[in-house]
């Protein structure tokens, strides 16, 4: 997506970049001996090139079943009360979000990481595009199952991406021709597969972005025919979204408007070509001084153009680029959302995942996310930009929050609603108040429908209102709860407005609440509802009786009947916190809030059938994962989730995860107490979170292994009197260590990580014996060189030297940039691995260590760090010897000490360029350390 130079409301130069939190770079030396490592059976979401998509079939893709969404799109989404008077109800929003750090390696059903992009402001968007695709990984990206589920639960359509990149980013015109290939009968095979994939996985269509330069007018006509064919075969349940890039002549020329040049990809006479168009970001800009460009006028003419074509202007989404600057940027809100008038078009947001990518902690992410969507006032009902800080107060181009201009929507209708304020991640997982998992997790499929308004907290007196937020220390069900804090007294009874609803009240309708707090007086929390016939009035209810709930009775549960209000419709739900006596530092944790029908009890699910382990992988004899599959219970219409447990040797149940699917991947489990077998249990859970009967299956562990000895040294070339730190890297089953250091002090050790001093010059051997009750393993190497020549330290012999490579993307990412000492420049090669980088040191040198700076060292995602590589040395540049071989690197900076070796040439051979499927090598530094 092309940027243009800004003009009248910001002079910042926009630069496309990926913002990632840089991880700590730990010391790594040479590892002698390597513990075994199995490749995990972790399923990943799908990505393809056009030709590989043609070969894809769910029947042969073993990950396919894990990538299916299980939540149907909620189509009864409604607008209801508009809390911000500035909001434009006619405008829609599409978000182009990168839901994972990279196209490849995206787990299908969540992960064991807490800090992940658990987007939750669904109420402000209508469509979500899972943005992705790259020349080195794949161009066609389908949404992962957890993204599909979370979006659909909130009534948001979700789309895959077809991305044909610019040539400077590795794009190839042949890929576009592969996409547009036709059969003799005029049909398009790739279009057929796009529809097949969307229907199988359960998402809602495709976003098509063609930015590869060099296409012809006939290519443009072929693209139009391709889109028209998609319209013909996709049915009404799928949509096609086109990005404003290619024009009718075939070249790439972003319009920032609907014009005569791009309308052929939107509407062709009476033929609908695409269902929506994302307009490039330049619609905002006009050179008021020199008149060199004017994109504003064509944009303002776009609604009329759409009407002439028989289309709605709100099928056009004016894009804003927030990837680099987020809410710190300036945007032309006045022409998109003019005061006192309807919105000009709908809004498109490119990379709102900025809030996550620019954050180092989950707390920071949540704060930025709230500012992004709600605005600086922290209240979605705020109606003025005067709430902005400092110089931006009243600035019409400053960020005021999406809620300022976009009316929130809700899907909470029907007769039942239950939430546990589960954000879809946590440091633990509780089931009915009992912690069943104590490890980090994330899974967007499990995210509840979260509060519509974040936050509207109002004091009914003179005191300050309490503060609501999410909390990850306590949960009734899931990994989080709603926490409300502050000093509570009769001066500040606080109403927290939470949900927009459309729930009809019957004679059996019941409100219920589960919470805990630190107030001495029971019943400090009341449930409030407003009705559609009197939305400004909130009626509060306090249960007459509270009973204990949860593990050890630490939660309180109460309910009230609404039969008195039969025939009315609940339009909002609130909570109110009151106390007749002052409570300093009041804290309340809301574990469940529900509207149910007393006579409409969900059926207890029956046991699942056919439970089996379809695949196991084991690592080091003590780690194992499992793919499970089962059949849904008969008459399982009320089943919402399946809980998957591991039964420990002591009989305790540990929750491994939950899914709405009938397949589940259990991540690596550690073997406990040398167990020989592990039982897995699957329990269905109904829509009211009641468990059914369990089913179990057992898998066997391999024989308990003897250790594999391995170690690393922080350096191998030292001066007399200096020390070497040895670090044990033996397999985890090691129970004892026996070291031998001839020529060193000490000369032997049984410590795990000894430090040894060498006083005399020479070359010395190191031996490690790793032992356990099963057996032992020995590794021995001639590796420590002690010489007076090392007294001055070692230097980077490769700095500024001549470098060649097997390939490189362009002159700005050529081989010399890996040797320039600048962590902001890199050598980048695309295409199939292996990729090689060769350095001529200019003369023979004694080499002791290599330092490689991978993608993360340059600010890119850790997913792009080189996974597998070799380092070779040569005297003549023709005959090579392996000095280092690494198969499982994940670090941003890796260090590799070797026994002192003479060579003139060094070569880095990149065999697996990234942690996932991206085939592009990214090396920000290749240092060859040794004696000058």
- Asked if the model's pLDDT at residue 549 lies above 90, the reply is yes
Q: Give the model confidence (pLDDT) of 428-475 as tens digits.
A: 999 999 999 999 999 999 999 999 999 999 999 999 999 999 999 999
pLDDT value, residue 840: 97
pLDDT value, residue 140: 98
Q: Which of 319-323, 523-527, 537-541 has the lowest mean pLDDT?
A: 523-527
pLDDT value, residue 60: 96
Q: Which CA distances in Å does 595 have to 123, 296, 415, 557?
A: 20, 48, 7, 14
Give the mean pLDDT of the chain: 93
- The DSSP symbol for 691 reads B
Q: Give the model confidence (pLDDT) of 324-369 as tens digits.
A: 999 999 999 999 999 999 999 999 999 999 999 999 999 999 999 9
pLDDT value, residue 694: 97
In this prediction, residues 708-734 reach a mean pLDDT of 94
Q: Give the model confidence (pLDDT) of 577-604 as tens digits.
A: 999 889 999 999 999 999 999 989 998 9
Backbone φ and ψ of 431, nearest 5°:
-125, 110
- The DSSP symbol for 12 reads P
Structural contact between residues 831 and 919, judged by C-beta atoms closer than 8 angstroms:
yes
Confidence band of 32 (pLDDT split at 50, 70, 90): very low
- Asked if the model's pLDDT at residue 12 lies above 50, the reply is no
What span, in angstroms and rounded, lies between the C-alpha atoms of 121 and 151?
10
In this prediction, residues 883-900 reach a mean pLDDT of 93
What span, in angstroms and rounded, lies between the C-alpha atoms of 232 and 800?
58
Q: Which two tokens stand for residue 81?
A: 């009360």
What span, in angstroms and rounded, lies between the C-alpha atoms of 666 and 218?
50
Q: Give the model confidence (pLDDT) of 277-320 as tens digits.
A: 999 999 999 998 998 999 999 999 999 999 999 999 999 999 99
Report DSSP letters for 123-191, one per residue.
GG-SEEEE---BTTTBSEEPPPHHHHHHHHHTT-EEEEEEEE--GGGT--HHHHHHHT---TTS--HHH
Confidence band of 523 (pLDDT split at 50, 70, 90): low
pLDDT value, residue 662: 97
Q: What is the pTM of this model?
A: 0.88
pLDDT value, residue 387: 57
Confidence band of 9 (pLDDT split at 50, 70, 90): very low
Q: What is the maximal distance between C-alpha atoms in the chain?
A: 94
Q: Which CA distances in Å does 31 have to 243, 579, 851?
A: 49, 63, 14
What span, in angstroms and rounded, lies between the C-alpha atoms of 406 and 697?
50
**HEC states along 653-676?**
EEEEEEECCCEEEEEEEECCCCCC
What span, in angstroms and rounded, lies between the C-alpha atoms of 64 and 193?
14
Q: 């968007």: which residue's tokens?
A: 125
pLDDT value, residue 580: 86
Nearest in space to 505 (alpha carbons), one of 533, 478, 482, 485: 533
Class of residue 289 by CB neighbours under 10 A (exposed 0-12, middle 13-18, buried 19+)? exposed
pLDDT value, residue 33: 41
pLDDT value, residue 394: 78
Instruction: Kindly list the structural domains of the chain, giving each domain's residue range(s) and its CATH number in brackets, ordered by start.
Output: 30-405 (3.20.20.80), 417-597 (2.60.120.260), 613-700 (2.60.40.10), 711-792 (2.60.40.10), 795-931 (2.60.120.260)
CA atoms within 13 A on the CB side of 514: 22
Class of residue 40 by CB neighbours under 10 A (exposed 0-12, middle 13-18, buried 19+)? middle
Q: Give the model confidence (pLDDT) of 480-521 as tens digits.
A: 999 999 999 999 999 999 999 999 999 999 999 999 999 876
- Asked if the model's pLDDT at residue 13 lies above 50, the reply is no
Structural contact between residues 829 and 891, judged by C-beta atoms closer than 8 angstroms:
no
pLDDT value, residue 688: 96
Nearest in space to 56 (alpha carbons), one of 212, 195, 204: 195
Report DSSP letters for 836-852, one per residue.
EEEEEEEEEEEEEEEEE
Confidence band of 877 (pLDDT split at 50, 70, 90): very high
- Asked if the model's pLDDT at residue 8 lies above 70, the reply is no
pLDDT value, residue 392: 66
| DSSP-based three-state secondary structure for 688 | coil
Report the run of H or E that residue 526 belongs to, with start and end: strand 525-531
In this prediction, residues 719-748 reach a mean pLDDT of 96
Backbone φ and ψ of 586, nearest 5°:
-65, 140
In this prediction, residues 870-891 reach a mean pLDDT of 95
pLDDT value, residue 793: 84
Report DSSP letters for 163-175, one per residue.
EE--GGGT--HHH
Backbone φ and ψ of 889, nearest 5°:
-70, 140
What span, in angstroms and rounded, lies between the C-alpha atoms of 240 and 357?
28
What span, in angstroms and rounded, lies between the C-alpha atoms of 225 and 180?
9
Confidence band of 551 (pLDDT split at 50, 70, 90): confident
pLDDT value, residue 522: 56
> How many other β-carbons are positioned within 10 Å of the β-carbon of residue 772?
17
- Asked if the model's pLDDT at residue 703 lies above 70, the reply is yes
CA atoms within 13 A on the CB side of 272: 18
Q: Give the model confidence (pLDDT) of 72-98 as tens digits.
A: 999 999 999 999 999 999 999 999 999
Q: Which of 23-32, 598-607, 631-640 has the lowest mean pLDDT?
A: 23-32
- Asked if the model's pLDDT at residue 27 lies above 50, the reply is no
pLDDT value, residue 15: 30
Facing residues of 786 across strands? 718, 762
Confidence band of 136 (pLDDT split at 50, 70, 90): confident
Structural contact between residues 125 and 153, judged by C-beta atoms closer than 8 angstroms:
no
In this prediction, residues 844-851 reach a mean pLDDT of 94
Q: Give the model confidence (pLDDT) of 812-821 as tens digits.
A: 999 999 999 9
Give the end-to-end CA distance of the chain in Å, rounded to a whole number.
47
291 vs 746, higher pLDDT: 746
> How many other β-carbons are positioned within 10 Å of the β-carbon of residue 801?
15
Confidence band of 384 (pLDDT split at 50, 70, 90): low
What span, in angstroms and rounded, lies between the C-alpha atoms of 530 and 532?
7
Structural contact between residues 279 and 237, judged by C-beta atoms closer than 8 angstroms:
no
Q: Give the model confidence (pLDDT) of 255-272 as tens digits.
A: 999 999 999 999 999 999
Confidence band of 16 (pLDDT split at 50, 70, 90): very low
* Cα of 199 vs its chain's centroid, Å: 23
What span, in angstroms and rounded, lies between the C-alpha atoms of 575 and 558?
13
Structural contact between residues 274 and 240, judged by C-beta atoms closer than 8 angstroms:
yes
pLDDT value, residue 874: 97
- The DSSP symbol for 108 reads B
Backbone φ and ψ of 625, nearest 5°:
-120, 180
Report DSSP letters for 375-431, one per residue.
-TTS-TT---GGGS-GGGTT-TTS---HHHHS---B--BSS-EEE----SEESSEEE
- Asked if the model's pLDDT at residue 697 lies above 50, the reply is yes
| DSSP-based three-state secondary structure for 736 | strand
Q: Give the model confidence (pLDDT) of 209-250 as tens digits.
A: 999 999 999 999 999 999 999 999 999 999 999 999 999 999
Q: 């290619």: which residue's tokens?
A: 246
Structural contact between residues 608 and 631, judged by C-beta atoms closer than 8 angstroms:
yes
Facing residues of 616 across strands? 626
Structural contact between residues 572 and 538, judged by C-beta atoms closer than 8 angstroms:
yes
- The DSSP symbol for 309 reads T
> What is the radius of gyration, based on Cα positions, of the chain?
31
List the alpha helices (DSSP H) in 567-639.
none
What span, in angstroms and rounded, lies between the C-alpha atoms of 787 and 930?
12
């Amino acid at each position: 997506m092309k940027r243009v130079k800004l003009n009248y409301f910001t002079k910042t130069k926009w630069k496309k970049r990926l913002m990632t939190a840089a991880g700590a770079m730990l010391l790594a030396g040479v590892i002698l001996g390597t513990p075994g490592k199995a490749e995990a059976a972790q399923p990943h979401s799908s990505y393809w090139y056009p030709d590989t998509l043609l070969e894809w079939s769910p029947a042969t893709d073993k990950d396919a079943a894990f990538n299916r969404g299980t939540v149907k799109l909620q189509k009864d989404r409604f607008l209801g009360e508009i809390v911000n008077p500035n909001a434009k109800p006619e405008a829609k929003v599409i978000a182009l979000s990168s839901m994972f750090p990279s196209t490849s390696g995206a787990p299908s059903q969540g992960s064991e990481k807490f800090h992940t992009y658990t987007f939750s402001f669904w109420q402000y968007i209508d469509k979500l595009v899972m943005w992705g695709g790259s020349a080195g990984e794949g161009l066609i990206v389908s949404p992962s199952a957890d993204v599909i589920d979370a979006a659909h639960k909130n009534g948001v359509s979700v789309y895959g991406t077809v991305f044909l990149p610019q040539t400077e980013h590795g794009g190839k015109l042949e890929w576009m021709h592969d996409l547009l290939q036709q059969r003799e009968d005029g049909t398009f095979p790739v279009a057929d597969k796009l529809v097949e994939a969307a229907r199988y996985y359960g998402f809602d269509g495709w976003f098509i972005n063609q930015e590869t330069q060099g296409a012809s007018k006939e290519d443009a006509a072929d693209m139009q025919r391709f889109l028209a064919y998609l319209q013909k075969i996709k049915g009404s349940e799928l949509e096609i979204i086109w990005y404003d890039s290619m024009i009718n002549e075939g070249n790439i020329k972003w319009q920032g408007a609907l014009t005569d040049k791009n309308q052929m990809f939107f509407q062709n006479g009476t033929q609908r070509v695409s269902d929506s168009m994302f307009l490039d970001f330049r619609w905002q800009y006009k050179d008021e001084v020199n008149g060199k460009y004017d994109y504003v006028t064509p944009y303002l003419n776009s609604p009329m153009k759409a009407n002439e074509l028989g289309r709605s202007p709100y099928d056009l989404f004016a894009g804003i680029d927030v990837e680099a600057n987020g809410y710190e940027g300036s945007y032309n809100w006045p022409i998109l959302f003019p005061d006192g008038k309807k919105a000009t078009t709908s809004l498109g947001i490119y990379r709102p995942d900025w809030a996550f990518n620019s954050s180092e902690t989950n707390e920071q992410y949540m704060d930025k996310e709230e500012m992004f969507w709600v605005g600086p006032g922290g209240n979605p009902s705020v109606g003025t930009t005067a709430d902005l800080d400092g110089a931006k107060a009243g600035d019409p181009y400053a960020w005021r929050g999406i809620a300022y201009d976009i009316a929130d929507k809700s899907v909470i209708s029907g007769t039942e609603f239950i939430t546990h304020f589960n954000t879809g991640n946590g440091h633990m997982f509780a089931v009915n108040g009992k912690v069943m998992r104590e490890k980090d997790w994330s899974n967007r499929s499990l995210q509840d429908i979260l509060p519509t308004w974040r936050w509207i907290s109002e004091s009914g007196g003179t005191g300050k209102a309490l503060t609501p937020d999410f909390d990850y220390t306590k949960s009734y069900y899931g990994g989080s709860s709603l926490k409300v804090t502050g000093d509570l007294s009769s001066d500040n009874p606080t109403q927290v407005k939470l949900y927009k609803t459309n729930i009809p009240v019957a004679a059996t309708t019941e409100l219920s609440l589960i919470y805990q707090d630190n107030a001495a007086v029971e019943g400090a929390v009341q449930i409030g509802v407003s009705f559609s016939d009197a939305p400004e009035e909130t009626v509060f209810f306090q249960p007459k009786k509270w009973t204990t709930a949860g593990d050890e009775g630490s939660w309180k549960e109460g309910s009230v009947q609404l039969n008195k209000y039969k025939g009315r419709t609940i339009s909002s739900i609130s909570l109110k916190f009151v106390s007749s006596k002052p409570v300093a530092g009041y804290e309340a944790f809301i574990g469940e809030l529900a509207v149910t029908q007393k006579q409409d009890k969900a059926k207890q699910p029956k046991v699942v059938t056919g439970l089996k382990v379809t695949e196991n992988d084991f690592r080091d004899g003590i780690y194992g994962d499992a793919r499970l599959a089962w059949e849904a219970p008969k008459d399982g219409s009320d089943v919402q989730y399946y809980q998957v447990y591991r039964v420990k040797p002591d009989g305790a149940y540990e929750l491994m995860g939950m899914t709405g699917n009938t397949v589940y991947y259990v991540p690596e489990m550690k073997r406990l107490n040398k167990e020989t077998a592990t039982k897995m249990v699957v329990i269905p859970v109904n829509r009211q979170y009641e468990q059914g009967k369990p089913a179990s299956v057992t898998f066997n562990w391999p024989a308990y292994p003897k250790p594999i000895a391995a170690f690393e040294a922080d350096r191998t070339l030292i001066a007399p009197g200096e020390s070497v730190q040895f670090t044990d890297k033996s397999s985890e089953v090691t129970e004892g260590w026996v070291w031998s250091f001839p020529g060193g002090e000490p000369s032997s050790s049984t410590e795990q990580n000894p430090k040894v001093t060498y006083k005399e010059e020479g070359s010395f051997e190191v031996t490690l014996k790793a032992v356990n009750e099963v057996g032992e393993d020995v590794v021995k190497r001639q590796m420590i060189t002690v010489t007076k020549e090392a007294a001055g330290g070692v230097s980077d012999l490769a700095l500024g030297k001549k470098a060649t490579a097997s390939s490189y993307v362009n002159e700005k990412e050529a081989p010399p940039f890996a040797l320039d000492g600048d962590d902001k420049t890199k050598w980048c090669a695309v295409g199939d691995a292996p990729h090689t980088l060769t350095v001529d040191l200019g003369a023979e040198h004694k080499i002791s260590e290599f330092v490689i700076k991978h993608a993360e060292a340059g600010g890119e995602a850790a997913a792009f760090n080189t996974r597998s590589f070799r380092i070779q040395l040569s005297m003549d540049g023709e005959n090579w010897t392996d000095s280092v071989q690494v198969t499982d690197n994940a670090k941003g900076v890796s260090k590799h000490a070797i026994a002192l070796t003479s060579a003139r040439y060094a070569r880095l051979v990149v065999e697996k360029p990234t942690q996932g499927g991206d085939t592009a090598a990214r090396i920000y530094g290749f240092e060859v350390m040794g004696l000058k």
